[in-house]
Amino acid sequence: MIARLLRFIRFSHTIFALPFALGSMLVAAHGWPEGKIVALILLAMVFARTAAMVFNRLADWQLDQRNPRTAERHTLISRDVAIGVLIASAAAFIGTTWWINPLCFWLSPVALVIVFFYSLTKRFTSLSHFFLGLALAVSPVGAWLAVRGHFALPPLILALAVLLWVAGFDVIYATQDHEFDRAAGLRSLVVRLGVARSLAWAQALHWIMLGVLGVFGWAARLGAPFFLSLIPVAGALIYEHRSAARLDVAAVNRAFFASNAFVGVVFVLGIFLDQVLLPHG
């Protein structure tokens, strides 16, 4: 049952948002924070993402059953079980924030509304990719608040970078459903602009994202290890876009997961080196 649930929510894709939350956490703490905060941030991330993914599956239940690419998702667990998991994970997320600090607790329902809202956006806007980006952009801001207890500029800049990054790779991912989305009356940049122009937009978003990451490094006063990490990040994005340009579904899937997982890991490794192993004044 657990294995089917993890497949249902694509638990392996947690690696996309988690590194940016951890990176924000390390910068906020100027190193490694106390274990309790690390554990609570990890729990909050897992519970929030689980709730968001289950809500997405429930919102698209009938649509996904008609899409050949996603038709098997709903054979993994029943709808009643999915509703139970949604309620439990959302409650667990809010409960976890109670143990972090009052600001995180009072903002936790807002975070849930943001991550849930994305699932409805393909029905009325072609900019749905940016709403997914906004949903994942919550994570570095939340991690910063968990450590510091107040807002600041660096996590907001990082949130913008995450938004652009996610919007870009979601446009690439949406090319797989171009024909189905058009037939079903769903909206995306791919449906609106076509595959070629959408891929050009995705590439532009990712180059802007690299620039924003540089601004984040400057605002957070990070050093050489972080800025050097942006070089392999750029390489991974180039690989992803070259793979996407082939318009091969298998290649897109491989590039999507491998490239974006690599981006997240290299990002947090650069910050770990900068803030923990090689701290500077």
Tell me the per-residue pLDDT of 198-248, one tens digit each, with 9 for 90 and over.
999 999 999 999 999 999 999 999 999 999 999 999 999 999 898 888 777
- Measured CA to CA, the distance from residue 52 to residue 131 in angstroms comes to 13
The whole-number pLDDT of residue 76 equals: 79
Over residues 29-77, the pLDDT tens digits come to: 999 999 999 999 999 999 999 999 999 999 988 887 888 777 777 777 8
**Mean pLDDT lowest for which of 86-95, 109-118, 175-184?**
175-184
The whole-number pLDDT of residue 1 equals: 66
pLDDT mean over 105-115: 98
Residue 174's domain is classified under what CATH number?
1.10.357.140
Burial class (CB in 10 A: 0-12, 13-18, 19+), 3: exposed
Give the structural domain span for 160: 2-6+14-277
- Please report where in the chains the tokens 């602009």 appear, as a residue: 193
The whole-number pLDDT of residue 277 equals: 87
Angle between helices 79-98 and 102-121 in degrees, nearest 10: 150
Question: With 70 as the cut, is the pLDDT of residue 102 above it?
Answer: yes
Write out the two tokens for 88: 């439990």
pLDDT mean over 5-34: 86
Number of domains in the chain: 1
The whole-number pLDDT of residue 179 equals: 87
Taken as a whole, the chain contains a residue count of: 281
Distance of CA 69 to the CA centre of its chain: 21
The whole-number pLDDT of residue 67 equals: 80
Distance of CA 200 to the CA centre of its chain: 21
User: To the nearest whole percent, how much of the chain has pLDDT over 90?
Assistant: 71
